[in-house]
Amino acid sequence: MPMIDADGCLLNVSVEGRQSGETVMLSNSLGTTLAMWEPQMKPLTQVFRVIRYDRRGHGKSGVPPGPYSMERFGRDVLAILDDLNIDKVHWCGLSMGGMVGQWLGANAPQRLGRIVLANTACYYPDPANWLNRIKLVTDGGMAAIADAVIAAWLSADFREREPQVTANLKAMLLASPVTGYIGCCEALSRLDHRELLPKISRPTLVIAGRHDNATPIAAGEMIRKAIPGASMTILDAAHISNVEQSHAFTDAVIGFLTQR
């Protein structure tokens, strides 16, 4: 996996799948690594070249001191594409990855084809949740929030049916560097993409989870209404819908990205 330098931060990147044709770039949620996309990799790589990466502060990427911002995350993506000599990609981002996709769609539309924004939001009117989370992690590390985050990520039914998948995601969360996680939470506490959304001109699919309390259907509908021509799909899942409803998620993404 290449390490790409973005403004002094080394980013861990994986490129898999077809060597020609279209490329799709996947962007993770807060507290996960590029491994969260494993359920999608086999079907996606049969159709596309697939780029995955660890956001700064996560996984095997560097953990520079903050502050972080959505613009910085977006420019990290552009640095990856420039380094790989790739002019344009389809985008699929979940949660925080969807927020980065919104910034890119408005500020670098020439680099994107189709856009999938999954289980995400464009605005947090009250930063208290993120400020409280920062305090918990500062005082008690990732273990202080792990159970509550997993309960938000996956429905109770799924956690009962798939204990190993649940344990794997929890381990991924617990391994997140505290400094990087806090830096991302600080960026989320300032999130407001409402003025960016009408500027997004690329075909866009919004995916929401019926049981997602972190970024509920109303948050997805707010995005859909603001982006010209956007469509929306609702899955029977909580927040990490690409894991909880992996087949339905993958079908929706491939179906949308291959539309002509």
Pairwise CA distance, residues 122 & 238, whole Å:
18
For residue 23, the enclosing domain spans: 3-257
CB atoms within 10 A of CB 57: 27
Strands 49-53 and 9-17: what pairing?
Answer: antiparallel
pLDDT tier at 225 (50, 70, 90 boundaries)?
A: very high
127: preceding bond cis by omega (within 30 degrees): no
Q: What is the CATH number of the domain that holds 42?
A: 3.40.50.1820
Place of tokens 């420039």: 82
Side chain identity at 114, as an amino acid letter?
A: R
Are 89 and 23 contacting, i.e. CB atoms less than 8 angstroms apart?
A: yes
Model pLDDT for residues 99-141, shown as the tens digit of each residue: 999 999 999 999 999 999 999 999 999 999 999 999 999 999 9
Model pLDDT for residues 32-47, shown as the tens digit of each residue: 999 999 999 999 999 9
Q: How many structural domains is the chain composed of?
A: 1
Pairwise CA distance, residues 251 & 199, whole Å:
27
Model pLDDT for residues 2-55, shown as the tens digit of each residue: 788 888 899 999 999 998 899 999 999 999 999 999 999 999 999 999 999 999
